[in-house]
Amino acid sequence: MGGMTATSAVLPEHVVVGAGPLTIEQVVAVARHGARVVLDDAAVAEVRRTRGIIRDLADDTVPHYGISTGFGALATRHIPVDLRHRLQRSLIRSHAAGSGPEVEREVVRALMLLRVATLATGRTGIREETLRTYAGMLDAGITPVVHEYGSLGCSGDLAPLSHCALALMGEGEVRDAAGERMPAADALAAAGLTPVELEEKEGLALVNGTDGMLGMLCLALHDLRGLLVVADVAAAMSVEGLLGTDDVFTADLHALRPQPGQAVSAANIRKVMAHSPIRESHRTEECTRVQDAYSLRCAPQVAGGARDTLDHAARVAGWELASAVDNPVVTPDGRVESNGNFHGAPVAYVLDFLAIVAADVASMSERRTDRFLDVSRSNGLPPFLADDPGVDSGHMIAQYTQAAIVSEMKRLAAPASVDSIPSSAMQEDHVSMGWSGARKLRRSVDGLARVLAVEVLTAARGLQLRAPLQPAPASGAVVGALVAAGASAPGPDRFLAPEVEVAHGLVVDGTVRRVVEAVTGPLA
């Protein structure tokens, strides 16, 4: 589930937090590329102001949730002053109860950045020194060890955020900038950071957020935007290599059904197929084919629908990036109010939607690949694109690999957000499971990249086998990139897994898109 760089966006070297909502690109820049975090001065001033409100409430004889009471189902107990620091420490220690494999560094960094962003709004009542130390951990490359399981996506991503808060306290384990696992206290000391002793309300402020699921949504949106461009490139190469027609991709036909993503996808395919000698070779009266199969003809409808779903998910992410999620919150007019904004449902839904469209785009890609390998449907190509069919198997098993991934992606498309297991003695009796939706989406995004890589590899082989006819210049650029990297050239069977990995690398590092855009201009 490694990260992608397949984008034409320029990522910033530093990100100002607190001046307004973060963007998806800023989240990616900090999470994946180590951009520095700069706290906005006005935001820090607001943090100081609202901390004063919390201090005043701490001295009040009336109980206030999370300040002078317990948490969740234990909120009925009033906590005396001498136990309140212990209350905050106990919250973090007990909630840092995750289990399973470590979560990826980029996910933890995204989670931390988004928590810093909420803290910087001043709506949480955090102290300035707590905020600065948390941001300092990010800049020092200190990544708390967070585990796969522990969040139900309601009351925030509690366990993941608690493992981060535990490190802020100088407890638990982290990985340093070099990736070495060590005690948090040692990493903080090496970075010149002092562990934080939490005061009233701060424990809650550190764990009540949708930051984990939102961070993974931002990373997925970034990666899927790049992959959908590759899906259009792969579709164009397949239509071309299978002697399909590009007449169905004309702008006026797609204007008849004004789905915005569909028009974008069709335009991309037209650009990639432009000036193709292979396409022109069968633009004759002798060509009796009237309609191509759906996996070719309807590629813009599927990839376009996926784009529109991404746009919806990005709007939801944008609203969440503009949010201050905590419970209770300090309102701008100074009230401290309980709320339910930590419920992850809005984010959980779109995480599930994206897993659905990723699976469908992958499914169509696998169907196009299979057509290249079936002599009854490939329009003159050798069985399985093999050099000596029967002796050689060509790309037969590469399609098996695709099929295995697509099958798993279909299972991953089953929504997590429709499930709920009550917790906290029925106080938290409905949860979003958004963290689980995000975790499976990451696996699905990785699967889509691998499925598209096999299609690109297979389509390139098919195009090469049309020689002496030449492919479109854009398709030819992809073929050239594959050959230069040691993949794709027709010939007797050889160890195929390394070639699949080469193709995958060219997909996820943005090379496929870059070499095409060098010919076509920008693709959308």
Q: Which residues pair with 181 in a beta bridge?
A: 175
For 112, 227, 469, the CA distances from 117, given in Å and listed in that order, are 9, 28, 56
Q: CA nearest 123: which of 49, 37, 20?
A: 49
Q: CA nearest 1: which of 460, 433, 412, 364?
A: 412
3-class secondary structure per residue, 178-243? CCCEEEHHHHHHHCCCCCCCCCCCHHHHHHCCCHHHHHHHHHHHHHHHHHHHHHHHHHHHHHHHCC
Question: Residue 257 burial (CB < 10 Å; 0-12/13-18/19+)?
Answer: exposed
Q: What tokens does 371 get?
A: 């057509």
Distance CA 54, CA 52 (A): 5
Distance CA 508, CA 256 (A): 34
Q: CA nearest 374: which of 382, 366, 364?
A: 382
Contact by Cβ (8 Å): 166, 184 = yes
* Catalytic residue from among 65, 149, 349, 400: 65
Do you know the residue count of the chain? Answer: 524
Q: CA nearest 235: which of 267, 257, 200?
A: 267
- Peptide bond preceding 160: is omega within 30 degrees of 0, i.e. cis? no
3-state secondary structure of 76: coil
Q: CA nearest 147: which of 405, 411, 435, 447?
A: 435
3-class secondary structure per residue, 410-467? HHHCCCCCCCCCCECCCCECCCCCHHHHHHHHHHHHHHHHHHHHHHHHHHHHHHHCCC
CA 191 to chain centre: 29
Cβ neighbours of residue 384 closer than 8 Å, sequence gap 6 or more: 373, 392, 393, 394, 395, 396
Distance CA 176, CA 113 (A): 16
- Peptide bond preceding 328: is omega within 30 degrees of 0, i.e. cis? yes
Q: CA nearest 124: which of 320, 332, 321?
A: 332
For 2, 188, 230, the CA distances from 365, given in Å and listed in that order, are 21, 47, 11
Q: Give me Rg for the CA atoms of the chain.
A: 26
Active site residue 65: yes
Compute how many other C-beta atoms are within 10 angstroms of the C-beta atom of residue 418.
Answer: 10
Residue 236 identity (one-letter amino acid): A
For the annotated catalytic residues, the residue numbers are: 65
